[in-house]
Structure 1
Amino acid sequence: QRNFEQIIADENFAISFKVEKLCMYDEIQRCFTSDRIGKGHLYLPRFRKISDMAGSYEEAGVEPFILDLLASAPFLFTHPNKKETLNSVNELYDYYEELSLKTAVQRSAESDAIDNKLEELLSGNIFLGALTPAVRVVIKISNRLTTDVGAALTMIAIFRYKRDAGRYPQNLNQLITAGYLKQLPIDSFSNKPLVYKKTEDNFILYSVGPNYIDDGGVSGKDSKGRVRQWRDNGDTVFWPVPE
């Protein structure tokens, strides 16, 4: 457990968007013309290619409309220029980094404000709209990882307590009192410690999961009734291991 704690001591498991940001920098160089003051405009052939690869506009049935707009000279010169788009990318990805430090339940509570901010940052820039990642999904995955790691650490402490005391703790606070944990890992989906319940000869440990509701330790299931982690129709149970 000590080695595991050392490994995770300086890690917050928040996802970084540095690579994606660099990719955006690269694509700006490809998608915009160049001039001496950095105010180039969209280069239509390249943008058509990446919008086809992204597929977002085609699936929404609006790609022809966007391409028609891009093909018009006035639009090409009213779309944010190269320098403005670079500034928008920096602001957008700084905001992504800020969001990645929040827990899932914090982002859920601030959902409307986040939507408004993202709409403001993306407004009027089709280049950004075409290449922006599904940021909420990506960040939620990092929240799962944070909770997974906390659960692993908690279970190690529980089993050490059982080995030494001959019984499972009545509650997680006993792990703190007995020195098996320095602090209780937090469930990113509740902003509270993981739920622990001692049973007659075992225990249950779970996260409330992405529906943010404590379902009493009932695992989420897929459409075929199979237990699956991180479903939004139940809890994510770490122990006992779901069958």
Structure 2
Amino acid sequence: MTLQETLATIAKSGLPLQGKLDALKFEFDNNLAPPAAVEVLHRATDELIASGAPSRALKVGDVAPEFVLPDPDGNPVSSKALLAKGPLVVTFYRGAWCPFCNFDLSALEEARLDIESRGATLVAISQQTAPNSRKSQRLNGLGFPILGDHGGEIAARFGVRWTLPDYLREVQKALGADLTQFNGEDSWTLPMPARYVIAQDGTIAYAEVNADYTKRPEPSAIFPVLEKLGRRQVA
């Protein structure tokens, strides 16, 4: 099967998010990508894990940086304004080129009404260009915005930005993921997959950062956190 056929089959499988990601990883590693490319991708992931990068990202109890970022139509979105209405759920998104990330966004969209019913707002943050974010929103049927973080400045402030090694850049290009084209700049940086819940006072109430892009928490993992924040607000 082609990548698109594989993605369509997995999307219809009814598996939970991590089950879909595991199925995609198996197909990608064994049937879709050249073995040499798979080896490089695994090497880069292993090195990022070994570097301890996730442990240096912002954690529960830290104060989240404020931001004002453009949505794909150029409208400024302020974290301060969103937090005035309730908790804020932030997910860092690598880009339209990453099928693992797109499954993650689709799962969050499926959970969006549950998130909103608990008083929270959901946004994604990505270094990709606005046209690519519009494409991601359209193809994943999103009812929440992908905000533009040019160069990854906000990702860096959260501690989740990392720089791709040279050997990985060539493989990314060969696989059709030239970040200079997708992101509109040549820093060759990406955010690690990360999901945060920010309380209205600006403190981080939930943080999940993973150097392995094939591992993502289920969206339902944040429901108890949002419910706790809601009880705190009522009290």
TM-score, with structure 2 as normaliser: 0.25
* Higher-strand-fraction structure: 2
**Larger relative contact order (CA 8 Å, sep ≥ 6):** 2
Question: Which structure has the bigger radius of gyration?
Answer: 1
